[in-house]
Copies of this chain bind each other. A is one copy, B any other.
Amino acid sequence: MKIKDIARLAKVSPATVSRVINNSGYVKEEKKKAVKKVIEEVNYTPNEFAKSLKTQKSNIIGVIVPKISTETVSRVVDGITMISKENNYQLLIANTNLQVEEELNYLKVFSNNLVDGIIIMATVVTDEHLRILNNLNKPVVFVGQRVEKYTSIVHDDYNAAKAMAQHLIEKGHEKIAFVGVSEKDVAVGKVRKQAYFDALTEHNITIDKNLIAIGDFSLESGYKAMGEILQKGQPSAVMAVTDQMAFGAIHCIKDNKLSVPEDISVTGIGDGKMSKYFIPALTTAKYHHKKVGKLACEHLMSLINSKGKNTSDIVVGYDVKLRSSVNSIRES
């Protein structure tokens, strides 16, 4: 069923049908009624491809994510869907499973006219990314990593991490261990570690390499990292760069017959759904993922509409959540 058929049935021209559908131009009320009636009767829906081919617009945005099945990512996507829906956009999701190669691949796939704009949660941004992006000629918004010349929405990783470290210091801790991830991930690996360094240094606490261990985001890796640290000595506190890794660390501590927070205090970053309900409840910095998703989509919308190249950098704040996984050190 196409416009031509509707036109025939309603005894008007295809052009008129199109006008009725798009509410454009002038159409006598009478004919408008007739057309609408026919459309209703035959349950007609326009062919989106023909439409997009003609208008050079799809009302679809591409979203590239590292792994949809994580709380962080799925919440961001949730935020994106909310705004995209408001603007009558659909979401094309590309799941890269943390493979940079896939990321580049999808970027290329999206370079055909399928999408009107792209939101990308890249973990690492390479020169190849930039190169492809450069001759992409489509609005792009980065989430989670700041990229020059592109608008990006990021968390305040530095201050959130610093807040955690400072909180531990204020509670009297000096032997503060660090459970992190590879510095290849700028936001989580590099920035948060730097904040840890800075916080300690500013308080005249010497950095002890034996108190630092690196994992790969998983709870299990947090467990393992904590194990490595305990092998070399017992800190009074540990700051993990994600809640998941903090959970792993806590389990490891317990398996070593120590308790949290009595023997060792623990902090995370992120505040996932379970952090508040974990036992002990985790002290952490709450991130606003959904808000990030919303902002990313809002900015993409305005980029698409204004065709302007006005890039901007948005830093979304955090809330410190003080819970029971941290204890004060008693003056001895």
Query: Do B113 and A48 have beta carbons less than 8 Å apart?
Result: yes
Partner of A53, one of B50, B71, B78, B109: B50
Query: Do B247 and A49 have beta carbons less than 8 Å apart?
Result: no
Against B, the Cβ 8 Å flags (1 = close, 0 = not) of A271-287 are: 00110011100000000
Query: Do A49 and B52 have beta carbons less than 8 Å apart?
Result: yes
Copies of this chain, tallied across the complex: 2
Is A37 at the interface (CB under 8 A from chain B)? no
Is A328 at the interface (CB under 8 A from chain B)? no
Chain B residue at smallest Cβ distance from A44: B112
* Chain A residues with a Cβ under 8 A of chain B: 43, 45-50, 52-53, 58, 60, 67-71, 73-75, 77-78, 81-82, 85, 90-95, 108-109, 111-114, 135, 219, 247-248, 251, 273-274, 277-279, 290
Query: Do A78 and B67 have beta carbons less than 8 Å apart?
Result: yes
With the chains together, A135 CA to B92 CA distance in Å? Answer: 25
In the complex, the 4 A-B pairs of residues with the closest C-beta atoms, listed nearest first: A81-B95, A69-B78, A49-B53, A45-B112
Query: Do B68 and A81 have beta carbons less than 8 Å apart?
Result: yes
The interface residues of chain B lying within 8 Å CB-to-CB of A278 are 274, 278-279
With the chains together, A156 CA to B73 CA distance in Å? Answer: 28
